[in-house]
Structure 1
Amino acid sequence: MQQFGRRRALALAGAGLGTAVAGCLGSDRSSQPTDEPPTTDDLSGHVRPEDDPETVPPALSCDETDFERHPAGYDADELAWGDTTETDGTPQFALRVDQLAYDYGETATITLTNVSDEEQHTGTSDEYSIEVQTAAGWQDVRGTSSDRSVVYNDLGIVHPPGEAFEWTLELTKTGLVAEHPLEDRLRVCPDLPAGRYRFVFWALNVAVAFDLAR
Structure 2
Amino acid sequence: MERTRRDLLTTSAATLSAAGAVGVAGCLDFAAGDGPQGPEGVPATLTCEDEAFVRLTPPFEEPVEGTVVDAAGTRFELATEGNAETYGQSMRLVLRNTGDEAATILGKHAYSFQRRTGEGWLDVRGSPTGEAVSLPSAEESFDAGRAFIWSIDLEEAAIASAVPDRELTVCPPLGSGTYRFVYWGIQDGPPLGAEFELVG
TM-score (normalizing by structure 2): 0.72
Secondary structure at the counterpart of residue 96 of structure 1: strand
CA-to-aligned-CA distance 1:116-152 (integer Å, 9 cap, x gap): 1121221111121100101221111001135333245
Residue type matched to 2:149 in 1?
A: E
CA-to-aligned-CA distance 1:43-96 (integer Å, 9 cap, x gap): xxxxxxxxxxx9323311111011111111122x33211111137xx7511111
Identity, % of aligned positions: 29
Give the structure, 1 or 2, with the largest relative contact order (CA under 8 Å, sep 6 or more). 1
Secondary structure at the counterpart of residue 168 of structure 1: strand
Residues 145 and 113 of structure 1: is their aligned pair in 2 closer, same or farther, counting only changes over 3 Å?
A: same
Equivalenced residues, count: 157
Q: What 5-or-longer segments of structure 2 have no aligned partner?
A: 1-39
The match for 1:199 among 178, 181, 185 is 181
**Greater strand fraction, Structure 1 or Structure 2:** 1
RMSD (Å), alpha carbons: 2.0
Secondary structure at the counterpart of residue 157 of structure 2: coil
Corresponding residue for residue 147 of structure 1: 130
**1:167 and 2:153 aligned:** no
CA-to-aligned-CA distance 1:170-209 (integer Å, 9 cap, x gap): 11011112241144x1000111011110011111311111
Q: CA–CA distance in 1 between the matches of 2:196 and 2:140?
A: 27
Max radius of gyration: which structure?
2
The answer to whether the Cα contact below 8 Å between 1:73 and 1:128 also exists between their aligned partners in 2 is: no
CA-to-aligned-CA distance 1:2-25 (integer Å, 9 cap, x gap): xxxxxxxxxxxxxxxxxxxxxxxx
TM-score (normalizing by structure 1): 0.67
Q: Which runs of 4+ in 1 moved over 4 A?
A: none
Corresponding residue for residue 210 of structure 1: 196
Q: What 5-or-longer segments of structure 1 have no aligned partner?
A: 1-53
**Greater helix fraction, Structure 1 or Structure 2:** 2
